[in-house]
Chain A
């Protein structure tokens, strides 16, 4: 192991794995880091009970087994410093240096407040999928899946595989939008096959469009939800609710490196050129970070970034057309699942917005920006550093999310003090 890499890749999801492999294929020394215990990102998160899909196993295996790639699991970036990254793992801190950096920090879920959303038993949609794969007990439990986007189908399939009784999938987008999208699927045959596969797995599970969860009921945990759909309000008794309104790029590291961001709606993504170069010399970005585009886009962009970071743009050039095809699909998807305005009106004045500090929506009335509101109410002052409430408030149109300052994630005092910094300079 070394602490100096030709190419350092942050994030070991489909984009990061592809980037690391592409760069290493040209002989570059590659470091690949991820905060999670295992590689694969969220979409290929390993399941403690079930085998991973073949494509995931292949992509992960060929990358982690590559002799030129160092895989650093459970390693998170704390801050940017002196042309390198200060990182920590569960035992120690290190400073990693690089010639080129590929950011593949992926996405998180857009989680929006509604009455009752803090009850135990409620998770994100991707959140339930991630927890199920970690061993979260779902056998025999009554699960409602809600929110928006194709992730709802994947979450439902995972829950079902883990023995859950999936009561229904409630999609906020209208039937017309979904049908229009389905009619255009012929342009992406592989996606059509994938969708049919999911449908087969979910046989018997109702899929209702134009439906949103208005309220969750329970004392110390979830007992029921009220779903507002075309047929009125439906009261559904359940044990788990998985609700997510799509994905957001994790731009915090890119932002602190000074990469130019763009807005897609209320949320930022990283601006890149044809070779996935960001506005900062030597820094590339790929995958969800560059705008929500899904797994296939991420794999292609990761490979482009990896080739380009190793200086082999000719190899990158061969992938540009397939990237365009994949991005078109993502655009169609994002259009189909655009959020209905009533999703923005779910939170009531007394609904908590900041879950770390228990700040209600009405407590924010009268403040013009996130900082003023934070100083007066503690909204966004907690451990999640405003990732949940700040993004929700941006989506609701209250105020834009304020910029990120170090540490990028809560980090050990010993790491910031440099007292357990291990230094390995010999390659």
Chain B
């Protein structure tokens, strides 16, 4: 299975991932912190199937997107909390 490589930006860094990869999986190649909780704790993807909303990040300027539900796209801009 050799899907083409896609390049996207995660917090300004270029990350490469196979087509079909989810944004969540692409982020995990870069960092394990997806977002900060309401009290500032680090959080990452948890349920993997769109139920728990722990993997919310900003994608192409729109905040609170579930990274596990969105496939990577060429040139995509992903922004996680620091």
Question: Could you list which residues of chain A lie within 8 angstroms of chain B, going by C-beta atoms?
Answer: 35-37, 42, 46, 48-51, 74, 108-109, 111, 118-124, 126-131, 134-137, 220-221, 355-358, 382-384, 387-388, 409-410
In the assembled complex, which residues on chain A have CB atoms less than 8 Å from the CB atom of B1?
48-51
Beta-carbon nearest neighbor of B71 in chain A: A37
Beta-carbon nearest neighbor of B22 in chain A: A134
Does the CB pair A48–B24 fall under 8 Å? no
Docked complex Cα distance between A111 and B44 (Å): 15
In the assembled complex, which residues on chain B have CB atoms less than 8 Å from the CB atom of A111?
46-47, 52
Beta-carbon nearest neighbor of A134 in chain B: B22
In the assembled complex, which residues on chain B have CB atoms less than 8 Å from the CB atom of A410?
53
Does the CB pair B44–A120 fall under 8 Å? yes
Contact of A357 among B22, B25, B38, B51 (CB under 8 A): B38
Does the CB pair A358–B21 fall under 8 Å? no
In the assembled complex, which residues on chain B have CB atoms less than 8 Å from the CB atom of A387?
51-52
Does the CB pair B34–A120 fall under 8 Å? yes
Does the CB pair B37–A130 fall under 8 Å? no
Does the CB pair A135–B53 fall under 8 Å? no
Beta-carbon nearest neighbor of B30 in chain A: A137
Does the CB pair A131–B32 fall under 8 Å? no
Could you name 17 residue pairs across A and B whose Cβ atoms are closer than 8 Å?
Answer: A48-B3, A111-B46, A111-B47, A120-B32, A120-B34, A121-B44, A126-B47, A126-B49, A127-B45, A129-B48, A130-B49, A131-B45, A135-B21, A221-B42, A383-B53, A383-B56, A384-B52
In the assembled complex, which residues on chain A have CB atoms less than 8 Å from the CB atom of B56?
383
Does the CB pair A108–B64 fall under 8 Å? no
Beta-carbon nearest neighbor of A74 in chain B: B69
**B8 CB-CB contact with A under 8 Å:** no
Docked complex Cα distance between A135 and B53 (Å): 19
Contact of A134 among B3, B25, B41, B54 (CB under 8 A): B25
Beta-carbon nearest neighbor of A221 in chain B: B32
Does the CB pair A135–B68 fall under 8 Å? no
**Given contacts A120-B33, A220-B33, is CB(A135)–CB(B49) below 8 Å?**
no
Does the CB pair A358–B52 fall under 8 Å? no
Does the CB pair A48–B46 fall under 8 Å? no
- Closest beta carbon of chain B to A413's beta carbon, Å: 12
